[in-house]
Amino acid sequence: MINPNLTLARSYYLRRILVAIGAYYGYVIGGKYQQYFDLRLQQHMYTYMPLEIKRGLETKDYRYVYMFNAANKKRMVLDKASGMSLS
């Protein structure tokens, strides 16, 4: 157990290190929750994503996402009735 009331003169650096450890711990926990949020969002939106986006998420090769052209009006991306992806 670490005493948070470090009042000795020798504890100057220890107090700074404890702040850095706490900040790092918060950074790691925040990254974990952000990654969980991103995963849940991808799982929820998967049926509404075009084929190129799905392929980029599955293979982790984001060149497929780059090749996706949303401005192309000739290619239908979503079904008009259900709103889901055609692929």
Is the residue at 1 inside a domain? no
86 and 53: one domain? yes
Q: Provide the pLDDT for residue 6.
A: 58
Torsion angle of alpha carbons 29, 30, 35, 36, nearest 10°? 70
**pLDDT tens, residue by residue, 29-55:** 999 999 999 888 888 887 778 878 888
- Count of the separate structural domains present in the chain: 2
19 and 35: one domain? yes
Decide which of 84 and 30 is more confident: 30
Is the residue at 5 inside a domain? no
Q: Region 62-80: what's the mean pLDDT?
A: 78
- Mean pLDDT across the chain, nearest whole number? 81
pTM over 0.85: no
Structural domain of 20? 10-45
Is the residue at 74 inside a domain? yes
Distance separating alpha carbons of residues 63 and 61, to the nearest angstrom: 6
